[in-house]
Structure 1
């Protein structure tokens, strides 16, 4: 099988993070052509011309060149896959004319899509959705039988539990900024500080510097119990997962959340809201989830973990097992290949029927 990939790289992700890691796990029977943007002068100049002509002002010239390069490879490959659909919606009319054997992966929950964005999905023949909760919503724009649900994977050999003796009970982790419910977090934070163990706690935020100056964080940004971290190496990020006691991270909405996937793999119990795609990743079954805005219930769940280490550790084990069984990139890559084969098989059937 010849596979044509249009990839992106998220600026603050390291080598072991991001959906693009998928490409490292395909079996040898899959021949890969991976296209992503770079900063070469010619590519930027070409992209700038197309940007001006097409008025794609929200897309960088380098990305536009990558999109055209990807499109030109479509006819020479069995399947073409856009890894991050939301970044490339504007090219769907172009690539749809070139090849029907195209699939794109949807990451964001539907609440983050404008109607204009959603209408462009009519050009998409096949989609991979990283969680199952909103299949019905997206099927208003893509045929239900053309939506394939595959979870976001994780490198289980890198993101793994550390030594239990290194876990610090007072060390609480919060990772990322997008769709995080900082307002709910602060309400939980205030309640926890009033508890018997409140004086012991430390809250560690891993958020890129550029995203820290938001109003929602103002009440805690100068607290001596709050610590901000950024620019971490992969190993430094892993150490936070392995040595923290809980991931306390309420969400406004969620598709597949990288931080939650990595916490699950490292056996760091997740305390979050019951929203979006959280249940696709074990919420409600592997770890308890809380209704959005119910900060008292979230504080109570935190207290349950804090006062019962055996309970906390049992959830850690269940999360790790869930990752081994359902989130291992090797498993996820095989599921992608199955989808590709199904798409090719469906097209062959249509071709026979036409004849």
Structure 2
């Protein structure tokens, strides 16, 4: 693809890009754990000079103004991401390393438009890489519900000549994905929409890591709808397989609520595959994720939530 256009960047956008550049030059790296681990470790202490960058930009610990060097503090303030809290200053964003690239995403929050990145993101990237192999020859690819952009950027890195479309209903997600794309030097075609974008041509690959928790939170990155969180994923698959080119693949990473040993997601995907003449491969990537969710009333019959990966290949 052509070089990424930087038209329309705001002062805040440019400050965030400069911040990413500064962190990369400083050798910054951070792996984002589960929210429970993040909360436990984050409460152990305040930010310290010994590990200031990871404390502030990774662990979201409170910090004092003089902890960061003046230039970096100025960039954070220009970007509008500094928040005042009783215990000190905090940032509204985090920066995490995925697939060797830095990604902006939301700090821990309950905001409806939070931009998620966490352990599912790492499993999703690994799943895409394993499903597609080393250097797939793609012309067009789509990542639905792009979030912070980890899937779309992986597709772009695997097939640099492909047109990779990244869609999301969340404007904040598209903004951060654009900045992550610019920083990584991997062009993306960003589309604001719910579900699949309207495009006349099909896609060689469609990838999706949809929300899969059935809950009351109304957070777009978590709420997977009915069927114990599976409804959104299945809707995307039903629509998406009709948009594949011959031999194209739909890569689905999601969660399946297992009830009495029964995997309803796998069975529903097999029905979709049989009806459309597609080939389905399916695996459990992690047998037990989001265990705390089982305390919710909606999950009273669920014995575990499995992270699963499915590939549906068009004839």
- What is the TM-score when the length of structure 1 is the normalising length? 0.25
Higher relative contact order (CA 8 A, sep 6+): 1
- Structure with more of its chain in helix, by fraction: 1
- What is the TM-score when the length of structure 2 is the normalising length? 0.27
- Structure with more of its chain in strand, by fraction: 2
